[in-house]
């Protein structure tokens, strides 16, 4: 059972709990991105099992009629076992997401995001996205990280492809020779990448950020270019801002929703990476 403190950041241990969480968000105008927690499997059985779980999940999303999509990590579905295992499992998930059983009332399949992990996974992840973006006519998305020096060039490769691209600042501790280390430089890269995306992308831009300055900048870029965009934030982080944004006419808001039995390591990471999260957890302990 997930304790109350952690449940602010994790939707539950089961897909049923996660889908119920999405229904509550939908009532307030926010869509969901469901992520089954798990990563870095070094043997095939758990990778196959999580891929099976995603196949079931995309069907359940359509069955429940909720406004939601899914997001998978490459190391979760077999990349650490082998590129072929990752590619096979991703293909199974994407195929299931575009099958009749996962097709919603609007006639489209369940959207599949491919999360980005550390820099060693970048090339294989982008290759997989390109292949499936073309095959599904854009019913997949991929995440890129502004702290990597290569990302601006990667965006040029992705600009003409169907599908969506999520821009985040990047949470991995990458080598200095390939990444920006200072916050101000990462912020500068994020702004530059975002500006390029609004200029060059046709199928939509996903702003993965809790930074009010970056969200405001996206609003300005939208006013200038008219490129469709969405804002994506995590469960339990600035949720009031998520609902406020969702109330605006021109902004689509998604909440990234982790769930599953492997909640403890995710919760611990959330607490470590942000002082505000740690203070939130401390207040919850004191007040309980």
Provide the pairing of β-strand 229-234 with 205-208: parallel
- Tell me the mean pLDDT in the region 182-197: 98
Nearest-angstrom CA–CA distance, 50 and 77: 7
Would you state the pLDDT for residue 249?
Answer: 80
Q: Which residue has the tokens 């505000």?
A: 276
- Split at pLDDT 50, 70, 90, the class of 278 is very low
Q: What is the pLDDT of residues 6-25, one digit of tens each?
A: 677 889 899 999 999 999 99
| All structural domains of the chain with their residue ranges | 11-255
- Split at pLDDT 50, 70, 90, the class of 281 is very low
Nearest-angstrom CA–CA distance, 202 and 183: 29
Query: Mean pLDDT for the chain?
Result: 91
Residue 37 has pLDDT above 80, yes or no: yes
Domain 11-255 bears CATH identifier 3.20.20.220: yes
- Tell me the mean pLDDT in the region 196-220: 96
Q: What is the SS3 assignment for the chain?
A: CCCCCHHHCCCCCCHHHHHHHHHHHHCCCCEEEEEECCCCCCCHHHHHHHHHHHHHHHHHHHHHCCCEEEEECCCCCCCCCCHHHHHHHHHHHHHHHCCHHHCCCCCCCCCEEECCCCHHHHHHHHHHHHHHHHHCCCCEEEEEECCECCHHHHHHHHCCCCCEEEEECCCCCCCCCCECCCHHHHHHHHHHHHHHHHHHCCCCEEEECCCHHHHHHHHHHHHHHCCCEEEEEECCCCHHHHHHHHCCCCCEEEEEEEECCCHHHHHHHHHHHCHHHHHHHHHHHHHC
Q: What is the pLDDT of residues 53-105, one digit of tens each?
A: 999 999 999 999 999 999 999 999 999 999 999 999 999 999 999 999 888 77
What amino acid positions are annotated as catalytic residues?
115, 166
């Amino acid at each position: 059972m997930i304790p109350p403190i952690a449940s602010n950041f994790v939707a539950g241990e089961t897909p049923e709990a996660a889908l119920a969480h999405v229904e509550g968000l939908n009532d307030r105008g926010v869509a969901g991105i469901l992520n089954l927690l798990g990563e870095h499997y070094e043997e095939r059985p758990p990778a196959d099992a999580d891929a099976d779980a995603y196949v079931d999940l995309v069907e359940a999303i359509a069955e429940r009629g909720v406004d939601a999509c899914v997001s998978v990590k490459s190391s979760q579905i077999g990349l650490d076992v082998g590129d072929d295992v990752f590619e096979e499992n991703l293909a199974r998930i994407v195929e299931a997401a575009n099958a009749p059983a996962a097709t919603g009332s609007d006639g489209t399949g369940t959207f599949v995001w491919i999360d980005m992990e550390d820099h060693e996974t970048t090339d294989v992840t982008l290759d997989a996205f390109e292949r499936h973006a073309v095959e599904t006519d854009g019913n997949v998305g991929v995440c890129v990280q502004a702290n990597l020096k290569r990302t601006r060039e990667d965006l040029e490769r992705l600009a003409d492809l169907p599908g969506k691209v999520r821009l985040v600042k990047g949470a991995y501790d990458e080598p200095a020779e390939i990444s920006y280390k200072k916050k101000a430089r990462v912020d500068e890269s994020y702004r530059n990448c975002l500006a390029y995306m609004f200029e060059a992308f046709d199928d939509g831009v996903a702003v993965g950020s809790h930074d009010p300055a970056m969200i405001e900048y996206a609003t300005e870029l939208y006013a200038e270019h008219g490129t469709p965009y969405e804002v994506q934030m995590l469960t339990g982080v600035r949720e009031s801002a998520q609902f406020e944004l969702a109330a605006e006419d021109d902004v689509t808001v998604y909440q990234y929703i982790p769930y599953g039995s492997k909640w403890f390591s995710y919760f611990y990471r959330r607490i470590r990476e942000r002082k505000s999260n740690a203070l939130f957890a401390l207040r919850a302990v004191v007040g309980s």
